[in-house]
Structure 1
Amino acid sequence: MSKRLAAAFSVALLSTITLAPMAHAADEVTVGKHAGAIIVNLRGTVVDPVGSSPILTAAGGATGLSATADSSVVPSLGISYFFTDNIAAELILATSEHSISAVSSSGSTLVHKTWVLPPVVSLQYHFAPHSQFSPYVGAGVNYMIFYSGKDYNGFTVRPHDGFGAAVEGGADFAVNKRVNVNVDVKKVFFRTDADINGGAFKSHVHLDPWVISAGLGVKF
């Protein structure tokens, strides 16, 4: 994992340790997880694409180049609705900017920067919904929308929008009856085609980012 991922975990741990003394005794805390509850989470999020993808000619021949995307740190918003005490649906909204580079044995060259809007809708199962500490798991779908792209160094790059899948795990720690500390880790599986230089080259890009978040949630 990148240094940014390690930093995100450190911030989440520090937040939990710092806020824990503010919590009431466990028997005085009512965690905001019950049927009909809406929880809004505001988080700091690391979006870290992994791996690289070969850049091929239009005929499928090797070029010796591969495409990589860098990581980004952004704010994100999560809105959860609880159908039952244990089962909830969450919509996650964020947008991040990423630099795409063409990498060879001799180095890397910036070819494109793009903003990505990847809304994720997931169905979650929350363990121990009435406890002060309540972990959860989930799975869902996302749709990647690329916009405001800018090309560099004589390249034109056009990534295609499309659907992906996501799995997640996380936990909430109740600070009081309405506020909780949230830590959330998602793995998004997304692969797309990118047309390069008007179709002279192409790449089947494997982004598959880790999305790691920490922040505060409020019950409404």
Structure 2
Amino acid sequence: MSTTTKTLMAVLIAVAASQAMGQESPWLLRARAVHLDPVDHSSPLGGTGAADRIGVSSKTIPEIDISYFFAPQLAAELVLTYPQKHKVYLDGARIGSFRHLPPTLSLQYHFLPAASFRPYVGMGVNYTRISSVKLLDGAGGLEKDSWGASVQAGFDYRLDERWSLNVDVKKITIRSDVFVGGSMASRAKIDPVLFGIGAGYRF
């Protein structure tokens, strides 16, 4: 093998190694603190009277999400947390509580994957499981499952090869029928807006 060929091969190997080291992992783990703010819309109780009498408490919750990048600009994100407890109000007076678990799967488009500031948008589907319902001393109930759409926008700010800061806003559709004495009394639209801030780690 000639000296020129050996030199060319060495250069190609060095370039390939450099490119491999420069590629980011397709996996991104984020941890966020998220403020959940329900819209509190509901139909009139029993079909008559005023609407929007039922309210659900807002709260700040922890959230973990795992993203996989199919390409530098395209990723799937799975959002996870543990069952969260919310208070329920009727005309401002507390009437009970429930817990909900709202995993959300989204497809995201990242506009500037090679930059330090990386904005993105996404849309997906949310499944919410409602449990531990305690309303009106046992006389009230809620539908156990809710499927709905989700939309989001946010950005990652890269700090180094592994770490980044994240800001994210989501709108999720969560609906539930409200029962009193076994009969449907109202349709509640929780539909929260979630504002989150946290950190991301590429691994």
Q: What TM-score do you get using the length of structure 2 for normalisation?
A: 0.82
Over 3 Å counting, the alpha-carbon distance change for 1:65 and 1:50 in structure 2 is: closer
SS in 2 for 1:131: coil
**CA contact 2:42–2:51 (8 Å) conserved in 1:** no
Cα deviation digits, residues 67-119 of structure 1 (max 9, x gap): 1111011100010000011000000012422111111xxxx221121111010
Relative distance call for 1:33 and 1:131 in structure 2 (3 A) is farther
Q: Does the alignment pair 1:206 with 2:194? A: no
Structure 1: give runs of 5+ residues left out of the alignment: 1-31
**Is residue 49 of structure 2 the alignment partner of residue 62 of structure 1?**
yes
Paired positions, count: 181
Please report how far the alpha carbon of residue 63 of structure 1 lies from its aligned counterpart in structure 2 after TM superposition: 7.0
Q: Which runs of 5+ in 2 are unaligned?
A: 1-21
| 1:118 matched residue in structure 2 | 102
Query: Structure 1 218/64 Cα, relative in aligned 2: closer, same or farther at 3 Å?
Result: closer
In structure 2, C-alpha distance between the alignment counterparts of 1:38 and 1:160, rounded to whole Å: 33
Cα 1:127–1:56 shift into 2, 3 Å: same
Pairwise CA distance, 1:190: 2.3
Q: Distance in 1 between matches of 2:126 and 2:49?
A: 31
Larger Rg: 2
Letter in structure 1 aligned against 2:115:
S
Match of 1:97 among 76, 85, 88: 85
- Which residue type is aligned with residue 210 of structure 1? V
Residues in 1 aligned to 2:102 and 2:182: alpha-carbon distance in whole angstroms: 25
- 1:162 is aligned to 146
**Greater RCO between the two (CA within 8 Å, min separation 6)?**
1
Letter in 1 for 2:106: S
CA RMSD of aligned residues (A): 2.1
Partner of 2:12: none
Q: Determine the C-alpha separation between the residues in 2 that align with 1:124 and 1:65.
A: 33
- Greater shift, 129-138 or 201-210, is seen at 201-210
Q: How does 1:1-220 map to 2 (within 5 A)?
A: 37-57=26-46, 60-62=47-49, 66-94=53-81, 95-103=83-91, 108-152=92-136, 155-199=139-183, 202-220=185-203
Tell me the TM-score normalized by structure 1: 0.76
